[in-house]
């Protein structure tokens, strides 16, 4: 890769041309590093050689100094990991532990460089809040940058904060499995923990990141309320030696009782476990709203083996469930099998959508090798993203197969007065079948 440095001193504008690209710079005292790949033709060889020598001198001067100004700050322990993802982007993760007595927010700026010191990219970092004694994580994201050998960065700590810290209130329980770590986060504080996100670093024996995964650990209000526990599954399909877990989160200082969002006994539910042929598991949940209020439903679940160990976790969302309606969703446990039990909790909240299931009528035809479902919209609003789930059971009510499909037109709707049909095939002997729907309306 060729590099070109041009210093513009005392010029109002500099025009740079090469490889079919023109750039105009209107400023003073500019050094330009041209890292583009260039053809070594006769017309440019002399210029390229001169540019390479100039760039080497400039790079050496630029790389003099500390890797991070935060490293010199006695009140903060900072550690970084360089990671290049599979699509050619580079992330530089930074963990920060606040050893001071002051709550701060953190901002950062960084440049990624190759082994020769050439600048490949630049990025920023922001951490909303970190309290005294807390440790959290942020990252610089270098879009489209690969081959980085080092990252030079600076961190700034600001005491003028907007949020309240919550990480010190959170307790993490983790369960290591072959392809994941399943965590449960409990809020032991007295304020809501908002937008809690978990990062898992799957590492080799030398503390190098093999893979990382991140998931929000939140309820329907994007919170973990005081006293509540929520779970998440973070995946790695490569062999790893150990895992490190870091959390991010914040609070506006509010406190909401858990009971205000947990669905009451007016909602009933029943679950069916299904293991796929590739070793994933789904836990279908049929939910009925026996109350007089419509709401959205969010679920959080932990899958356990026969010994009670947590081996996976998942979430479920129903956009809207009206009074008297029954709908279906599922928890998906990626690469998790041999599940013995599933523990779940359901949360309800106001919804942007209107219910439509009460306006539908369905005709179900059961054949030896399929089930045909015909649905008519008897209401005045279109049923949007209407989906039918057909569950096939054996005589002991074990789920042996399922199929799902949308009953919608080109507008993703089943319009008032319209009827649409869908066929669900089955590749297993079955005793009986049950049909459920999910859908919504938003004007």
204-230 residue pLDDT tens: 999 999 999 999 999 999 999 999 999
Identify the domain boundary among 296, 320, 352: 352
pLDDT at 52 over 60: no
For residues 195 and 234, membership in a common domain is answered with yes
For residues 22 and 89, membership in a common domain is answered with no
pLDDT band at 182 (very low <50, low <70, confident <90, very high): very high
pLDDT at 99 over 50: yes
For residues 335 and 363, membership in a common domain is answered with no
pLDDT at 303 over 70: yes
376-407 residue pLDDT tens: 999 999 999 999 999 999 999 999 999 999 99
359-379 residue pLDDT tens: 999 999 999 999 999 999 999
Residue 53's pLDDT is what? 31
What the block records as the tokens of 370 is: 């399929």
Name beta bridge partners: 423. 372
For residues 118 and 54, membership in a common domain is answered with no
Tell the residue number behind the tokens 């006994």, with chain if given.
265
Residue 38's pLDDT is what? 53
| Radius of gyration, alpha carbons of the chain | 28
Task: Give the chain's mean pLDDT.
Answer: 87
Q: Which of 68-72, 182-186, 370-374 has the lowest mean pLDDT?
A: 68-72
Cβ atoms 422, 406 nearer than 8 A = yes
Residue 221's pLDDT is what? 92
Identify the domain boundary among 332, 352, 372: 352
Residue 36's pLDDT is what? 67
In this structure, what CATH number is given to the domain that contains residue 213? Answer: 2.60.40
Q: Which of 1-10, 29-38, 108-117 has the lowest mean pLDDT?
A: 1-10
304-339 residue pLDDT tens: 999 999 999 999 999 999 999 999 999 999 999 999
In this structure, what CATH number is given to the domain that contains residue 278? Answer: 2.60.40.3230
For residues 49 and 133, membership in a common domain is answered with no
Cα separation of 231 and 302, whole Å?
Answer: 7
Residue 424 backbone dihedrals phi, psi, to 5 degrees? -115, 120
Number of domains in the chain: 5
The pLDDT of 281-310, averaged and rounded, is 97
Cα separation of 20 and 37, whole Å?
Answer: 12
Residue 8's pLDDT is what? 37
The pLDDT of 256-282, averaged and rounded, is 92
pLDDT at 50 over 70: no
pLDDT at 165 over 70: yes
For residues 386 and 396, membership in a common domain is answered with yes
Tell the residue number behind the tokens 């590492």, with chain if given.
203
Residue 20's pLDDT is what? 45
Residue 19 backbone dihedrals phi, psi, to 5 degrees? 55, 35
The pLDDT of 286-305, averaged and rounded, is 96
For residues 201 and 254, membership in a common domain is answered with yes
For residues 300 and 235, membership in a common domain is answered with no
In this structure, what CATH number is given to the domain that contains residue 390? Answer: 2.60.40.10
For residues 74 and 147, membership in a common domain is answered with yes
For residues 338 and 364, membership in a common domain is answered with no
pLDDT at 97 over 60: yes
For residues 213 and 230, membership in a common domain is answered with yes
Identify the domain boundary among 158, 183, 210: 158
For residues 129 and 94, membership in a common domain is answered with yes
Query: With the C-alpha atoms ordered 101, 106, 111, 115, is the resulting torsion angle positive or negative?
Result: positive
- Percent of the chain scored above 70 by pLDDT? 84
Residue 74's pLDDT is what? 80
Domain of residue 38, residue span: 5-62
pLDDT at 163 over 60: yes
Q: What is the pTM of this model?
A: 0.82
């Amino acid at each position: 890769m060729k590099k070109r440095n041009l210093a513009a001193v005392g010029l109002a504008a500099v025009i740079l041309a090469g490889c079919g690209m023109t750039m105009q710079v209107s400023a003073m005292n500019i050094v330009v590093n041209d890292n583009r790949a260039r053809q070594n033709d006769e017309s440019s060889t002399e210029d390229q050689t001169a540019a390479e020598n100039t760039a080497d001198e400039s790079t050496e001067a630029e790389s003099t100094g500390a890797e991070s100004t935060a490293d010199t700050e006695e009140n903060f322990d900072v550690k970084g990991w360089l990671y290049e993802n599979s699509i050619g982007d580079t992330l530089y993760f930074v963990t920060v532990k606040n050893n001071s007595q002051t709550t701060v927010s953190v901002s950062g700026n960084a440049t990624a460089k190759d082994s020769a010191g050439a600048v490949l990219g630049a990025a920023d970092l922001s951490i909303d809040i970190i309290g005294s004694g807390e440790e959290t994580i942020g990252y610089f994201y270098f879009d489209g940058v690969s081959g980085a050998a080092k990252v030079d960065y600076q961190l700034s700590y600001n005491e003028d904060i907007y949020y309240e810290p919550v990480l010190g209130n959170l307790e993490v329980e983790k369960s290591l499995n072959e392809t994941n770590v399943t965590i449960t986060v409990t809020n032991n504080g007295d304020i809501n923990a908002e937008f809690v996100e978990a990062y898992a670093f799957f590492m080799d024996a030398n503390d190098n990141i093999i893979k990382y995964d991140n998931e929000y650990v939140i309820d329907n209000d994007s919170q973990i309320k005081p006293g509540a526990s929520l779970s998440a599954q973070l995946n790695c399909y490569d062999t790893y030696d150990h895992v490190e877990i870091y959390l991010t989160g914040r609070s506006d200082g509010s406190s909401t009782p858990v009971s205000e969002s947990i669905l009451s006994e007016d909602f009933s539910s029943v679950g069916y476990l299904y293991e796929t042929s590739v070793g994933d598991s789904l836990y279908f949940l049929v939910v009925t709203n026996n109350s007089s209020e419509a709401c959205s439903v969010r679920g959080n679940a932990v899958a356990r083996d026969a010994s009670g160990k947590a081996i996976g976790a998942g979430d479920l969302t129903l956009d809207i469930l009206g009074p008297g309606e029954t709908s279906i969703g599922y928890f998906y446990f990626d690469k998790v099998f041999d599940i013995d039990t599933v523990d779940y909790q359901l949360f309800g909240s106001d919804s942007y959508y209107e219910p439509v299931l009460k306006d539908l009528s369905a005709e179900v035809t059961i054949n030896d090798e399929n089930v045909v479902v015909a649905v008519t919209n008897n209401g005045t609003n279109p049923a949007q993203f209407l989906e039918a789930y057909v569950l096939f059971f054996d005589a002991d009510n074990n789920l042996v197969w399922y199929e799902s499909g949308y009953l919608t037109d080109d507008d993703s709707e089943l319009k008032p007065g319209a009827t649409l049909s869908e066929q669900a095939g089955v590749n297993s002997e079955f005793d009986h079948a049950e049909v459920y729907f999910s859908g919504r309306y938003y004007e």
